Structure 1
Amino acid sequence: MQTASTNICERMGCSQELSEFKCGTVIGCHLCNKSICEISLLLNISWSTVSGIITKWKQLGTASTQPKSERDQCMLKHTVHRSPQMSAESIARPPNFM
């Protein structure tokens, strides 16, 4: 049974991490030549999430969530790639929101 907050998150598209089983199911469907649209409808997951899982699996060989330190390294690489002229100090400093 789902609670009201779970239903709202599903309808509003709140960010939730998929279980390893569901990610594996996406990969299994992909290996059975199902289209992204078919997988999305079958598993009730957004098209972009299905696409992201398949892309991640093709690039990394796994669809499991990376440990935080690896995600931080990926974010750092992305930041440096987008703005290679930024100094190391400005990248390391937290953003000033005021």
Structure 2
Amino acid sequence: MQTASTNICERLCNKSIREMSLLVNIPRLTVYDIITTWKQLGTTATQPQSGRPHKMTERGQHMLKRTMRRSHQLSAESISKDLQTSCGFKISTATVCRELYGMDFHG
């Protein structure tokens, strides 16, 4: 019994990129990118993107959660000052607000 992947492989083996593109109804550039990724990495899974790292580390997020558990009525400004003095994190109030929102602390 043939699986779907072996059936597709048999259809696409020894075909040009243009022919593969027409058979599977995908743009040629996409087919080319998939083949190139497979040859370079051995997988077609999505790879992590490069970009600017998060300002808060795991430790910083843990400290922020712990601070919020102690008192829910602290302002973002007081939390950022507390983190700066106790842990040495340089963090703005906007970053504190954004991280709290990401942790489902609203209001």
- Same fold per TM (> 0.5)? no
Q: Which has the larger radius of gyration?
A: 2
Q: Which band: TM-score by shorter chain?
A: 0.3 to 0.5
Q: Please, what TM-score do these two structures have when normalized by structure 1?
A: 0.39
Q: Please, what TM-score do these two structures have when normalized by structure 2?
A: 0.36
